[in-house]
Amino acid sequence: MSKKKVMIFGCGGMLGKAVYEKFKERYDVLATDIDVNETWLEYLDVRDLNAILKRVADFGPGLLINLAALTDLEYCEKHPQEAWLTNALGQENIALAGQKFDIACVYVSAASVFDGKQEFYNDADNPKPVNVYGKGKYYGEVVTQQMLKKYFIFRAGWMMGGGIKKDKKFINKIFKQVSAGAKELFVVEDKHGTPTYTVDFASSMYNIVQGDFYGLYNMVCTGSASRYEVAKEFIKCLGLEKEVKINPVNSAYFEKEYFAPRPKSEKLINLKLQKRGMLYMREWKECLAEYAQVLKKEKLKHASHKDAEPQRKE
Ligand SMILES: NC(=O)c1ccc[n+]([C@@H]2O[C@H](COP(=O)([O-])OP(=O)(O)OC[C@H]3O[C@@H](n4cnc5c(N)ncnc54)[C@H](OP(=O)(O)O)[C@@H]3O)[C@@H](O)[C@H]2O)c1
C-alpha cells in the first residue's frame, strides 16, 4: 500500500524540524519553506496562492500543515503588512487549497491571540490580540473556521525546541548568553505563559490528525510559569545554578528591545484535549530537562568539530 502524503508549509523553522521528523516515519512528506535550510526542503512562499495550488495539485497530499509564520513580534510591529501577508493571508491561501481539493488542513495558532487580562485561557475564551503578530494569527484562525469543515487549529504557547541552529526563542537566547560566558542574567518575572515543547507538539499533532475530531484546540505543555521561573529551571537543568545568577526584572527593563505589546498572561489550558482523552503533552519541566540535554549535546558536538578542524597557519 502506498504511504499517505502530507504537505508542510514553513517547515524550515523550530517547529518544522520536529514535525518533519515525526511525520516522515509514516508519511510521504513534501516539506516547504522560503528558507531552504535543509536538503529535504523545497522553496514555497505561502503568500503565493498560484504556486501553492500548483504544487498541491502535483503532489496530491491528503493533509496540509501550515507552520509558516513571521514570529518575531518586534519585526511584525515594524512591518505590519508583511506580517499580515504571511501570518494571515498565507493561511487563507492554504485554506483555499484545502477547500478546492477537499483536503484537511492543520493551522498552528498561538496564545498571542489573547489579551492577557485573564490568568488562564481555555479553548473557548474570546481572543482579543494586543499586537500585530497576534492579530495575524487570529485572522488565520477565523478564516480557517469560516472556510473549512475539515480543519485542526492547534494553539501553542511559548515554543521551545529546534536546537541551537533553529530555536529563535527564549530558551536559546538564554543558552547563547550562558554559552558566551554570562554569569548574570536579567529575566522578566511579570509575564506568564505555558512552555510548549516542539517534540511533544509534533507528536501530539501526529496522533490527533490520525482521527477526525476536527476543531480548535489549545495544545501546550502542562503546568505554567513566568519567564523568570522558566529561566531558573533551565539553568538548573544545565547544572549551572551555582555559577549563573538570575535577576528578576520588570518588563520595563527591556522596553526598548522588546517594544511590541505583550499580554501579561498567555497561560493556556488544554481543556478540550483533556476532556476528549487526547492530551499527549508532557509537563513543561520534564520537556525542558530533555531539551537542555539536547542543547548541551549539540554544543559539545559543535566544539569537537571545531577542534577537529585543521588549524590555519598565520
Ligand atoms: N515560536 C513561537 O514561540 C510560537 C508560539 C506559538 C505559535 N507559534 C506558531 O508555530 C508555527 C511555527 O513557528 P516556529 O515556531 O517554527 O517559527 P519559525 O522557527 O520562525 O518557523 C517558521 C518558518 O516559516 C518560514 N516563513 C516565513 N515566511 C514564510 C512564507 N512567506 N512562506 C513560507 N515560509 C515562510 C520562516 O522562514 P524565515 O526564518 O526565513 O522567516 C521559518 O522557516 C507558526 O505558525 C507560529 O506562528 C510559534
Give the torsion sign (CA, 123, 126, 130, 133): positive
Rounded Cα distance, 276 and 30, in Å: 30
CATH superfamily of 4-303: NAD(P)-binding Rossmann-like Domain (3.40.50.720)
Instruction: Answer yes or no: is pLDDT of 159 > 70.
Output: yes
pLDDT tens column, 40-92: 999 999 999 999 999 999 999 999 999 999 999 999 999 999 999 999 999 99
Residue 13 Cβ contacting ligand 1 at under 6 Å: yes
Tell me the residue type at 13: G
pTM given for the model: 0.96
Mean pLDDT confidence for 252-276: 97
- Give the pLDDT of residue 234: 98
pLDDT at 313 over 50: no
Is any atom of ligand 1 closer than 6 Å to the C-beta of 14?
Answer: yes
Which CA distances in Å does 227 have to 73, 93, 158, 188? 16, 35, 10, 6
pLDDT in tens, 26-53: 999 999 999 999 999 999 999 999 999 9
Mean pLDDT (whole number) for 244-254: 97
Q: How far is the CA of 2 from the centre of ligand 1 (A)?
A: 30
Q: How far is the CA of 66 from the centre of ligand 1 (A)?
A: 9
Q: Is the CB of 182 under 6 A from ligand 1?
A: no
How far, in Å, is the centroid of ligand 1 from the Cα of 71? Answer: 6
Integer Cα distance of 260 and 7 in angstroms:
32
* Confidence class for position 2, pLDDT limits 50, 70, 90: confident
Give dist(CA 298, CA 162) in Å, integer.
Answer: 11
* Residue 68 CA, closest ligand 1 atom number: 24
Give residue 314's pLDDT. Answer: 41
For residue 16 and ligand 1, the question of a CB distance below 6 A is answered with yes
- Band (pLDDT 50/70/90 cuts) for residue 303 is confident
- For helices 90-101 and 132-147, the axis angle rounded to 10 degrees is 10
277 CA to centre of ligand 1 in angstroms: 29
Rounded to whole angstroms, what are the CA distances from 106 to 68, 73, 119, 155, 207?
A: 11, 22, 27, 11, 13
Residue among 71, 91, 139, 155 to mutate when testing ligand 1 (max atoms within 8 A of CB): 71
* Of residues 91, 85, 83, 141, the one with CA closest to residue 111: 141
**Ligand 1, from 9, 15, 199: best to mutate by most atoms within 8 Å of Cβ?**
15
Q: Are 19 and 11 within 8 A, CB to CB?
A: yes
Beta strands in the chain (DSSP E): 4-9, 27-33, 41-43, 63-66, 104-110, 120-121, 151-156, 158-160, 184-188, 192-193, 195-197, 215-218, 225-226, 245-249, 265-268
Q: How many A from CA of 10 to the centre of ligand 1? A: 6
Average pLDDT over the chain reads 96
Cβ atoms of 43 and 32 within 8 Å: the answer is yes
Domain ranges of the chain: 4-303
Cα of 9 from ligand 1 centre, angstroms: 9
- If you measure from the C-alpha of residue 60 to the centroid of ligand 1, how many angstroms do you get, rounded to a whole number? 24
What confidence tens digit (pLDDT) does each residue in 126-157 have?
999 999 999 999 999 999 999 999 999 999 99
